[in-house]
Structure 1
Amino acid sequence: MTHDLEHKFVNQLEANQNIVHKICKIYTDCPDAHKDLFQEITIQLWKAYPKFRGDAKFSTWMYRIALNTAITLYRKSKRRLPTDNIDPVLYRVKAIDYDDTEEQQLSLMYDAIKQLNDIEKALVFLYLEDKNYYEISETMGITEINARVKMNRIKKKLRNILNP
């Protein structure tokens, strides 16, 4: 890998790492699991980065890799992947402390979201990130109509969870 590629990756990841933190918050329950998932997503992003052609925005590409990693990792009984051979480039990423002060107000919503299945969680996450249905469909690999239908069903499901 060239130094230029590495530099671009680190800059993009630092600029967009809140995306990964938010995904980690939805798919994990404790700080250690959050850190592990963040690390695994970063590794998968780095492995896939040489194939990033720029056809989509970096953040859209990042959402797809991060969500797929989270879903795959935590769907299979929250198994942990070995991370012994970490590329040194990953240590150059300046991790920011994740401030969830604002999100504490949403703790009930997060608890409700955690009761959803993995695909529903991903759809809600993208919706909460103000992605339009076209962007959601592109990221999730489904039709725009399917994204709308699924989101309406999820909203109803969340209302039922929050207001039994």
Structure 2
Amino acid sequence: MAPPPDEQEFQRWLEQHRSILFKVARTYCRDEDDRQDLLQEMLVQLWQALPRYDPARAAASTWVYRVALNTAISFHRRHAGRRAARVPLPPELPQLPDAEALEREQQLRQLEQFIEELRELDKALMLLYLENKSHADIADILGISVSNVATKVSRIKEQLRQRFARQTA
């Protein structure tokens, strides 16, 4: 068994990857208190798993995503029914006239609602996809094949197209 990580080194390492933890926590927890609980759980899991991390097998960011997503999925399952999950969308939208802005905001809410309703693995996949991760990176993080990622992304996008078509018809 590897020795426990050095606390200061762990803090430096966390600083490099903190954005990943916050993105995953925001995706799986709408409530701030729940988000803080999840972040704490992620930190514990990372601390405990760090001695087993092998940089030859995965990039640090890939490994952090994997631990964070697995922790979030477990957390979400344990608290199902009490907590709602959502995937935040990028806030950097162009300035639009009021009518267009309202329509765009409604579409974003519909997309968030659709993503909230996905199964945990698909939700994680969409989080990574919306972060512009490559299919190879997504496959590595989620532990599935690249072809499975491509298939899932294609199916989810088709479901989304159909859903928007029904709502605008």
TM range (shorter): 0.7 to 0.9
Partner of 1:96: none
| Aligned with residue 137 of structure 1, among 112, 119, 139 | 139
* 2:132 partner SS: coil
User: Quick check: which has more Rg, 1 or 2?
Assistant: 2
Using structure 1 for the length normalisation, give the TM-score: 0.76
8 Å CA contact retained: 1:26, 1:110 = no
Alignment of 1:148-163 (within 5 A): 148-163=150-165
Deviation of 1:108 after TM superposition, in Å, equals 4.5
* 2:137 partner SS: helix
CA distance in 1, matches of 2:61, 2:158: 28
Using structure 2 for the length normalisation, give the TM-score: 0.74
Q: Flag structure 1 segments of 5+ consecutive residues without an equivalent.
A: 81-99
- With a CA cutoff of 8 Å and minimum separation of 6, indicate the structure with the bigger relative contact order: 1
Distance 1:50 1:151, change over 3 A: same
Amino acid at match of 1:102: P
Deviation of 1:160 after TM superposition, in Å, equals 3.8
CA distance in 1, matches of 2:121, 2:92: 21
Distance 1:13 1:108, change over 3 A: farther
8 Å CA contact retained: 1:26, 1:113 = no
Partner of 2:91: 102
Alignment of 1:1-164 (within 5 A): 5-55=6-56, 56-78=58-80, 102=91, 107-163=109-165, 164=167
CA distance in 1, matches of 2:25, 2:134: 22
Number of equivalent positions: 144
Distance 1:10 1:145, change over 3 A: same
After alignment, is 43-52 or 109-118 more displaced?
Answer: 109-118
Q: Flag structure 2 segments of 5+ consecutive residues without an equivalent.
A: 83-88, 94-104
* 2:6 partner SS: helix
CA distance in 2, matches of 1:123, 1:101: 16
Deviations 1:93-129 (A, max 9, x none): xxxxxxx982797555333311111010010111122
After alignment, is 126-135 or 4-13 more displaced?
Answer: 4-13
